[in-house]
Structure 1
Amino acid sequence: MLKENRSLDRGIEILETLAREGAMSLADLHRATGLPKSTIRRLLQTLIQRKIVRRSLADQLYRTLLVFPDISGEVMPKGMLQMADAAIPRALALTQQIGWPSDIHIREARSMRIIDSTRQASNFHVEQGQINRQVSHFGSATGLACLAAMGDGEIAAIYEALKTDRHWGPVRFGLDLATLMQRIAQIRAQGYAERLPAHLSDREWDTDLRAIAVPIKARGQVLGGISVLWLRTYKPVQGFAALHLEALQQAARDINAALDLVWDDTTG
């Protein structure tokens, strides 16, 4: 086999393995493929440069940015690569500025999904985020920030579509449409959203943390959100926002401006 063909075959094997197994370390890929670590490392560097694979900041694991429906059964959210490219360096700069970490969420039909986090880069010890974890539109800070950035009609349509869903819907947070719209008005007035406690009995993730968030947009389209998290014992929400909201909003504006440069109708 020609050297070029052998490299191509090995690169495809790595991509198929990532699609099948999900996020993996270099050691995981070595065990799964049997390829030398030096070969895997070289191929990963090329795949990252070509934006086919990315290494998450939060857990340092490799993930494919290509969709292999027959292997993974998953569909990548539209615009995820562009959003990650724009948001991650600016979220990292925000964490370096204020100390506290950020999570980056992308908006999906039924929920918000974490695509990366700067928790490992923070000087403060907080629970480590889980990449690809889904959270509710109606209870998460980023989800509520996204809703507040939409028109009232679109909010009502999302509410109607999910109102009977006890896991992802508003019932989990005790929200009827009128109460939700009151909260949306408050979010719009104060310039940020905060997470809500769950009203059902299942344990809430990150119970020791508070979060505020603002939306991420590309040419006016709401794509997701960026949050800042801190320990509940540090400050109440209003006190934290007084210190750090301006920096969070500036990071979001910088992300939005970067996305505006690369976004078009085919991207989203």
Structure 2
Amino acid sequence: MSSLTCFPPLHEARASPKTVVANSLRSGHDLYLLFRLVEFCMSGQTVESVLRAFDILRELNRSRVTSLKDLHAATGLPKATLVRLLKTLGEAGYVTNDRRQGGYQVTSNVKALSCGYHRDPLVIEAARPWSIEFTRKYQWPIAVATLEERNVIVRFSTIIDSPNSPFHGTINLRLDLLTRALGRAYLAFCPIAEREMLLDLLDIHERVERQDALDMLGRVRRAGFSLRDVMSEPRSSNTIAMPVMLDDKVLATVGVTYFNSAFSVEQAVAKFCEPLHELSLRIASGCEQFQADVADTCRVRSDHQIAT
């Protein structure tokens, strides 16, 4: 038996070890290779050919038409391997090879691959690794919120990574713009025209009430961070929040929550403000890079279409 038989085909790698054992016994595999087969299925190893196929799809997506030579140069994969994978992708309906166009290209079927994509905005993806790192270092949970109508909504949280979280879960929690730290951070730092519009949506029309709100938001801007309203529940905890800014736009707000029994406000500000500001800058930088990557991909495709 070839040594390659100790690595199962894709359909077997997805099967349970019990199924693999049964199939192997029926096929007459010897005991040593059978043990290797079970080890593979239980190891959680990746299927290299699948990763290579995605590399090819990513590269094909950069241009309208891509030659085998270009794919070889971009991926470093042997041409024979590329041909086999391209043939498989073609049989699946995602790639076509039209000689009249001089190379390979993706088909309209690739659009179906994104139909189930309902992930959060790029800013949340950019926030994820840095927020997790923050909580691992400081132990307290981070929440990232984005604006939706007249509230901010928590889109990402590291509660699961924190041993000290005051809450069991906050994902999709709606927070008030005027009383909650994450909301105040948005309202205080967004452009003036947007702030006025949001205050109108909140029915803050009475002159004294509106001026009180503007005064509070001014204090937040001068401080560079926001806290919850002292009357907001739960009063056993508090949140320090800051905006994630790109140019003059607030992409999201990010906050760290702690128990009041652990720190006074002054202690929490001294401990968290600097690293929280650094976190917000890293998130903004990551989001800017994501946007640049998307724009670059679109530019490459556009330039190629013009050239052809």
**TM-score band w.r.t. shorter chain:** 0.5 to 0.7
Q: Do the aligned partners of 1:217 and 1:259 also contact (CA within 8 Å) in 2?
A: no
Instruction: State the distance in 2 between where 1:67 and 1:160 align.
Output: 36
What does the per-residue CA deviation read over 1:52-97, in whole Å, with 9 as the maximum and x for residues that have no partner? xxxxxxxxxxxxx9679xxxxxxx7xx9331221011111111122
The residue aligned with 1:248 is 276
The residue aligned with 1:141 is 181
- In the alignment, residue 220 of structure 1 is paired with which amino acid? D
Instruction: State the distance in 2 between where 1:143 and 1:128 align.
Output: 20
Instruction: State the distance in 2 between where 1:206 and 1:88 align.
Output: 26
The residue aligned with 1:186 is 219
Of the candidates 126, 129, 150, which is equivalent to residue 110 of structure 1?
150
Q: 1:240 to 1:262 in 2, by over 3 A?
A: same
Higher radius of gyration, 1 or 2: 2
Instruction: State the distance in 2 between where 1:67 and 1:196 align.
Output: 39
Q: Secondary structure at the match of 2:279?
A: helix
Note the residue ranges of structure 1 that are not aligned, 5 or more in a row: 1-41, 51-64, 69-75, 165-169, 199-203
Q: Do the aligned partners of 2:165 and 2:257 also contact (CA within 8 Å) in 1?
A: no
Q: Do the aligned partners of 1:148 and 1:187 also contact (CA within 8 Å) in 2?
A: yes
Matched, 1:96 2:124: no
Provide TM-score, normalisation by structure 2. Answer: 0.54
- In the alignment, residue 162 of structure 2 is paired with which amino acid? S
Provide TM-score, normalisation by structure 1. Answer: 0.61
Q: Do the aligned partners of 1:142 and 1:213 also contact (CA within 8 Å) in 2?
A: yes
Of the candidates 87, 104, 119, which is equivalent to residue 159 of structure 2?
119
Deviation at 1:219, TM superposition (A): 4.3
Of the candidates 242, 250, 256, which is equivalent to residue 222 of structure 1?
250
Deviation at 1:154, TM superposition (A): 2.5
Deviation at 1:113, TM superposition (A): 0.6
Say which is worse superposed, 81-90 or 148-157, in terms of deviation: 148-157
Q: Secondary structure at the match of 1:116?
A: strand
Cα RMSD over matched residues? 3.6
Q: Secondary structure at the match of 1:80?
A: coil
Q: Do the aligned partners of 2:141 and 2:165 also contact (CA within 8 Å) in 1?
A: no
Instruction: State the distance in 1 between where 2:176 and 2:190 align.
Output: 16
Instruction: State the distance in 2 between where 1:236 and 1:132 align.
Output: 28
Instruction: State the distance in 2 between where 1:226 and 1:216 align.
Output: 7
Give the % identical residues. Answer: 19
Instruction: State the distance in 1 between where 2:151 and 2:143 align.
Output: 15
Q: Do the aligned partners of 1:99 and 1:122 also contact (CA within 8 Å) in 2?
A: yes
Q: 1:220 to 1:156 in 2, by over 3 A?
A: closer
- In the alignment, residue 252 of structure 1 is paired with which amino acid? S
The residue aligned with 1:211 is 239
Q: Do the aligned partners of 1:219 and 1:263 also contact (CA within 8 Å) in 2?
A: no
Matched, 1:151 2:191: yes
- In the alignment, residue 129 of structure 2 is paired with which amino acid? P
Matches within 5 A, 1:29-40: none
Q: 1:113 to 1:125 in 2, by over 3 A?
A: closer
Structure 1 stretches of 4+ with a deviation exceeding 3 A read 65-68, 204-207
Matches within 5 A, 1:256-267: 256-263=284-291
